[in-house]
Amino acid sequence: MITNVATFKALGDPTRQQILAMLAGRDMTIGEVVDHFDMTRAGVKKHMKLLEAGRLISVKADGRERINSLNREGFKSVMQWVSYFDQFWDDKLDALASLVEQEEQK
């Protein structure tokens, strides 16, 4: 319940969200990603590193190229963390239901 911080941090940037959307279309090398942005290769590389740290992408070497693809782990981790709070909303609704019942009995 603490390591997902890297994942959320990675998601808290519009550029990185865009990169993820692109990778949902197809796997890409950093070079290909760079072509879609007005930014240095080194700049993009930094974003990729953060995405990888958040386990949102994974990299596979192929010759001198590195293929970047979406990594399900990060997404799963986000889903799980947020799901933890579902219980909270359920309880709230239960409490609300009880209140309504009490009101009706008056």
Residues that bind a copy of itself (CB under 8 A): 1-2, 5-6, 8-14, 17, 20-21, 24, 70, 72, 75, 78-79, 82, 84-85, 87-89
3-class SS of residue 28: strand
Comparing CB distances to DNA, the nearer of 45 and 92 is 45
Say how far residue 80 (Cα) sits from the centre of its chain: 12
Interaction partner, residue 52 (a copy of itself, DNA, none; CB < 5-8 Å by kind): none
DSSP annotation of 54: T
Residues that bind DNA (CB under 7 A): 9, 12-13, 15, 29-32, 38-43, 45-48, 50, 59, 63-66
Pairing state between β 57-62 and 65-70: antiparallel
Task: Name 68's bridge partners.
Answer: 28, 59
Interaction partner, residue 59 (DNA, a copy of itself, none; CB < 5-8 Å by kind): DNA
